[in-house]
Structure 1
Amino acid sequence: MRRPGVTGPRPRVAGRTAGSAPPSAPGSSREAGTGARRAPRPQGVCRACRVAPAEHVDHRHGTGRVRGVLCFSRHAALGQFKDRPDAIRRAAAYVEGIAWKPTLVAPGVCRLPS
């Protein structure tokens, strides 16, 4: 129990915060036989880039449903896009050069997209 007026972080005890239940305590998600769903163990390569090692479990923030395992960079990128597919599609079009293609009006004269 914390004393009144004591500030600062709680002391750590063997890899956990003091006062928290140990991982195998009854009612914890690690208790055997509870049927608690677990995230897939990161292994293999990223499902987005298919090159970097998969290290981060990606999930939908609204439902918590696991989508897959990604590398750090792709997982961070999805977070920056706020999981918005429309923004991701526009970014992909930009990278591929589709969004910024000038139109040739006359020899040496181009019109940029508005």
Structure 2
Amino acid sequence: MTEAERDAMIKEQFGICPICLEPGPKHVDHDHDTGKVRGVLCFNCNSALGKLRDDPDAMRRAIAYLEGNVWKPILEAPGVYQLPS
């Protein structure tokens, strides 16, 4: 992606990060499996996606946690846990 293409994408996003809605995104985000560019994010949001390994299930658990819906795995046998769905 060229700088001009990145700048055009930022303009299409109205100059804001599509996740936190703060102005000044500069970090091109892409799908690590396909290489497809998804958008331009701020450093914090791009880093957050990476730290959660682009895993939608991990992100949903993070959202539930932030909203106070704490969950615990269910012990099935010693050392074997079932994760809540």
Q: How far did residue 82 of structure 1 move?
A: 0.5
Structure 2 unaligned spans of 5+:
72-85
Tell me which amino acid in the other structure corresponds to 2:24: P
**d(CA) in 2 for partners of 1:93, 1:81:** 14
**Structure (1 or 2) with the greater helix fraction:** 2
1:52 CA displacement: 3.9
Ranked by relative contact order (alpha carbons within 8 Å, sequence separation 6 or more), the top structure is: 2
TM-score, normalised relative to structure 1? 0.51
Q: Which amino acid aligns with 1:74?
A: C
Aligned-pair distance for 1:72? Answer: 0.2
Mark the structure with the bigger radius of gyration.
1
Q: Which residue of 1 aligns with 2:58?
A: 87
Alpha-carbon deviation of 1:59? 0.2
- Give the Cα separation in 2 of the matches to 1:54 and 1:95: 24
Corresponding residue for 1:67? 38
Distance 1:73 1:85 in 2: 17
SS state at 2:6 partner: coil
What's the % identity of the aligned pairs? Answer: 52
Deviation >2 Å, runs of 4+: none
**TM-score under structure 2 length normalisation:** 0.66
Tell me the equivalent position of 2:6.
41
Unaligned 5+ runs, structure 1:
1-37, 101-114
Question: RMSD of the TM alignment (CA)?
Answer: 1.6
Aligned pairs, how many?
A: 63
- Taking a change above 3 Å as real, the CA distance of residues 52 and 98 of structure 1, as seen in their structure-2 partners, is farther
Q: 1:89-113, CA deviations, whole angstroms, 9 ceiling, x for partnerless residues? A: 000110111226xxxxxxxxxxxxx
